Amino acid sequence: MSMQLDRHYEGTDFITGLRAIAVFLVFVIHSGGGGLRDISEFLNTFVDFGKYGVQVFFVISGFTIFFQLSKEGYSLRRFLLIRIFRISIPYFPVLIFIYIYINSGGEQFNGWANQFNNGTLSIDNLLMHITYLASFDLKYANTIIGVEWTLHIEVFFYFLIGILLTRGHLKQGPLSIMFWFVIWLIIAVTLGPLGYIGTLDRLAVYWMPFIYGWMFILGGGAFYLRKKMTLVISSHLENIISDLGIIVSIVLIFGLIWLNSGGLVSKYLHLDWSEVHFLNELFVSLITATLIVTTRDAGKFSVVFTSKVALFLGAISFSFYLIHYIIIASEISYKLFYFENQTVVFFSNLFITIVVSVVWYYFFEQFLYQKAKSAINRSMTH
């Protein structure tokens, strides 16, 4: 299987590598860590940190929104069409496949569907997903694939930030970006705790978009700072800063995991779980934004993100994200091969997910989406 997939972007290949790390972190926590939890408290916490792969994706999405509406000069209509087609073309077939499978008597693998809908999958549910509105109703929010709530949040902010940017309410300057960052941060620190203490439903707060807006704005701020940095610093100095940024970021991430090991943060700072979770989100998001600002493909240590393995996994990351939970939750490794060892199951699930994702990527993301994108671009020039 070739690792040379067609996903290269001038000067920002490392973004693809960041996506690879994010999707692998998500895979690690959903798969249970493949035995890592039993080795040490540090590795147990590392597995827990897999949930923050989602925050990395959200910051990257914020960068993408600003990049396409600014540097690539997309109109709002073109941007929304391209982004929605980009998600929908690989996503809708998964939804339809699961809908047919479950309603044909297939075994329900999604625990949320069992919890909220007694394992059933209605046409109303499917329509709520296709319209990207499912996250606003717990009965539907995450009850088909098991990870789709994040996609509905991304589409929400494609519309909201796209409108704010193109209508001039959000300007690409430090004051405007900081203003909107603070607004969304206030919303997050207000709504988040209400979910954890039970005033609002915790899952409703978690699966709706409102506590994540600051991450998208942070990604936009990273785009702005990266652009300014390129104008005032030589390429040689940029590469030095890139290497330092990667080293410091790795140290900070592993330091953050260590501080969370055994509940050290809660113990010494006297914080409850929701406060620790928010601080972790904040630091992971800030580190991601810093990497976006400082990392240069030409830097020596950027190979962490631009190696063949990283670019391969990053290229298929969206298809991988759509497929991985289905493979894990449906216990395909056991049903096909009777694997029971945690580590063997982990790697067999990883292999199966990669194989299916590559097929999905080439057909839906490369073949169909590229045709749709070309058609959109042609229609915008007439």
Structure tokens at 193: 């705790």
Query: Predicted confidence band at 262 (pLDDT cuts at 50, 70, 90)?
Result: confident
List phi, psi (to 5°) of 32.
Answer: 85, 5
Main-chain dihedrals φ then ψ at residue 341, nearest 5 degrees: -60, 130
Q: Which residues contact 176 (CB under 8 A, 6 or more apart)?
A: 170
- Of 121, 117, 128, nearest in space to 102 by CA: 121
pLDDT (tens digit, 9 = 90+) per residue, 162-187? 999 999 999 989 999 999 999 999 99
The Cα–Cα gap between 271 and 275 comes to 6
* 3-12, 156-165, 226-235: range with highest mean pLDDT: 156-165
Q: Residue with structure tokens 């009965």?
A: 139
Q: Which residues does 318 contact at the CB level (< 8 Å), separation at least 6?
A: 87, 90, 361, 365
Q: Are 143 and 113 in contact (CB under 8 A)?
A: yes
pLDDT confidence tier of residue 298, bands split at 50, 70 and 90: very high
In angstroms, what CA-CA distances link 122 with 117, 126, 339?
9, 7, 33
pLDDT in tens, 271-292: 777 788 899 999 999 999 999 9
Check: CB of residue 19 under 8 Å from CB of residue 326. no
| pLDDT band at 339; cut points 50, 70, 90 | confident
Helix (H) / strand (E) containing 355 = helix 342-360
Q: What is the pLDDT of residues 95-116, one digit of tens each?
A: 999 999 999 999 999 999 999 9
- Structural domain boundaries in the chain: 13-372
What is the pLDDT at residue 1?
40
* Structure confidence by residue, pLDDT tens digits, 48-92: 999 999 999 999 999 999 999 987 778 999 999 999 999 999 999
In tens, the pLDDT along 14-58 reads 999 999 999 999 999 999 999 999 999 999 999 999 999 999 999
Q: What does the mean pLDDT of the chain come to? A: 93
The pLDDT value recorded for residue 9 is 53
Torsion angles phi and psi, residue 296, rounded to 5: -125, 135
* Residue 11 binned pLDDT confidence (cut-offs 50, 70, 90): confident
pLDDT at site 326: 97
pTM of the model: 0.94
Can you tell me the distance from the alpha carbon of 133 to that of 140, in angstroms, rounded to the nearest whole number? 9
For 209-229, the pLDDT digits (tens) are 999 999 999 999 999 999 999
- Indicate the helix (H) or strand (E) that contains 320: helix 317-329
Residue type, 11: G
Distance of alpha carbon 115 from alpha carbon 329, whole angstroms: 15
Whether 313 and 320 have beta carbons less than 8 Å apart is answered as yes
Long-range pairs, 376-380, Cβ under 8 A, ≥24: 376/78, 376/81, 376/82, 376/85, 377/78, 380/75, 380/77, 380/78
